[in-house]
Chains A and B, each alone.
Chain A
């Protein structure tokens, strides 16, 4: 399984506190993201590189936490 991927997105516009992000390679794909998740000072027309890295450790921790909770709940 690929552990990482990256794609370029463009801030098409900012509607209130939402940035409308359009995927550069396929402008049918778009999504909104609150501005607080983006680098400070971004503006309309900015191009952003979006990097995805699979965080296996985080997944394992969550799996364990949920497993423990399920065990506890089912045990009662």
Chain B
């Protein structure tokens, strides 16, 4: 090479390399930021139609997602709306589609640190696709059992179910049940845990058998969308909640919530405040460690909160628009 040209070539090469480096760095997506904590524990029971999805903002800024709603649910959009950039822990309570249907899309949209699953072998494509995505992304995976604990700053997360091998071949009874404790307040997330009677083993009977006091919680997410095998008087006596939430869709085909559960909660109306996603939209429970404040997307007349699933379905059918988001004003009322 011509000696005079050599420095020019070297400079040109350096310039190209620099340009390439700039391009590479520009194209790399911004690193996910963890939102700064608010010092409060905030649980959002997301309005995702028929199914379950709960986003939990922890006091130090970590995020937990319990279940994703069904395939096609607007979960990713809702999570973005709540400012989610990354999820520290996903818990899929059990492998039914109305709980895990959107998991794959959630993992594609957000950086996920760790994934807890029931490990119940449910041979559906939806469940297989979810596990494949976890594997492909190299996300840390675990199947927690009763007694497992995790601390997030001042919040303690306890696993209450499953105890070991599932009691029967019903995925609902393999549900991961967790309780979060922050200060004086406790939140119990129950998946679709079922209860039949004392003789027949179930997730609830196994939990109640251990020690009743261990189930105490201020807020109870009613198991299995308010079905009669998710909440019984025995369950309420063991948990003794002051707030109950139900996640289901208006006009669902499964009669959720069940009349028995509605009558029971109505009888306990002085002790228990009831909130439900089908009528009120997303329910947000914000806790400072001493009290829990509830807000909802929509406000409803107090007596409507005890409508059965079939009564709501009849309303939906007659007015043809269901409980759509007509009211945007959020309704805030202080819970006990």
User: Distance (Å) between the CB of A50 and the closest chain B CB?
Assistant: 15
Prevailing SS type, chain A contact patch? strand
B199 at the interface (CB under 8 A from A): no
Q: Which of A5-64 contact B (CB under 8 A)?
A: 10, 12-13, 15-16, 18, 20, 22, 24, 27-28, 30, 32, 43-45, 47
B122:A16 contact, CB within 8 angstroms = no
Q: Which of B167-185 contact A (CB under 8 A)?
A: 169-171
Contact of A45 among B101, B123, B227, B255 (CB under 8 A): B123
* A47: chain B residues within 8 A (beta carbon): 123
Cβ proximity bits B65-80 to A, threshold 8 Å, 1 near / 0 not? 0000011100000000
| B124–A45 CB distance below 8 A | yes
Interface of B is mostly: loop
Q: Does B97 contact A (CB under 8 A)?
A: yes
Asked, given contacts A27-B71, A28-B71, whether A22 binds B254 with beta carbons under 8 Å apart, the answer is no
Q: In chain B, residues 105-133, which have Cβ atoms closer than 8 Å to a Cβ of chain A?
A: 122-126, 129
Once A12-B97, A16-B254 are accepted as A-B contacts, the answer to whether A27 and B125 lie under 8 Å apart by CB is: yes
Contact indicator B72/A28 (Cβ below 8 Å)? yes
Number of A-B contacts (CB under 8 A): 48
Q: How far is the CB of A49 from chain B (nearest CB, A)?
A: 14
Cα A12 to Cα B97 in complex, Å, equals 6
How far apart are the CA atoms of A64 and B48 in the complex, in Å?
A: 46
Q: Are A10 and B254 in contact (CB under 8 A)?
A: no
Size bin of chain B's contact surface: 20 to 34
Q: Are B126 and A13 in contact (CB under 8 A)?
A: no
Residues of A within 8 A of B72 (CB): 28
The answer to whether B124 touches A12 (Cβ under 8 A) is: yes
**Inter-subunit contact A13/B125 (CB<8 Å):** no
B169–A22 CB distance below 8 A? no
Q: Indicate if B63 sits at the interface (CB-CB under 8 A).
A: no
Asked if A43 and B169 make an inter-chain contact with CB atoms under 8 angstroms apart, the answer reads yes
Nearest A-chain residue to B99, judged by Cβ: A13
Minimum CB–CB distance from B222 to chain A (whole Å) comes to 15
CB-CB under 8 A for A13 and B71, given A22-B125, A44-B122, A45-B122? no
For residue B67, give the distance in angstroms from its CB to the closest CB of chain A. 14
Q: How far is the CA of A43 from the CA of B268 in the complex (A)?
A: 36
Chain A residue total in the interface (Cβ 8 A): 17
Task: Give min CB distance, B70 to chain A, whole Å.
Answer: 8
Q: Which residue of B lies closest to A31 (CB)?
A: B253
When distances are taken between beta carbons in the complex, the residues of chain A under 8 Å from B97 are: 12-13, 20, 22, 27, 30
> Would B255 and A10 count as touching, CB distance under 8 A?
no
- With the chains together, A30 CA to B122 CA distance in Å? 17
Q: Note all chain A residues with C-beta closer than 8 A to B70.
A: 30
* B129 surroundings in chain A (CB, below 8 A): 27
Most chain A CB within 10 A, of B124, B227, B254, is at B124
Q: How far is the CA of A24 from the CA of B71 in the complex (A)?
A: 13
**How far apart are the CA atoms of A15 and B228 in the complex, in Å?**
12
List B contacts of A30 (CB < 8 A): 70-71, 97
A28 partner residues in chain B, CB cutoff 8 A: 71-72
Is B276 engaged at the interface, CB distance under 8 Å to the other chain?
no
Are A10 and B253 interface neighbours, CB within 8 A? no
- Chain B CB within 10 Å, residue with most, of A12, A27, A43: A12
24 contacts between A and B (CB under 8 A): A10-B125, A12-B96, A12-B97, A13-B96, A13-B97, A13-B98, A15-B227, A15-B253, A16-B254, A16-B255, A22-B124, A22-B126, A24-B125, A27-B97, A27-B124, A27-B125, A27-B126, A28-B71, A30-B97, A43-B169, A44-B169, A44-B171, A45-B124, A47-B123
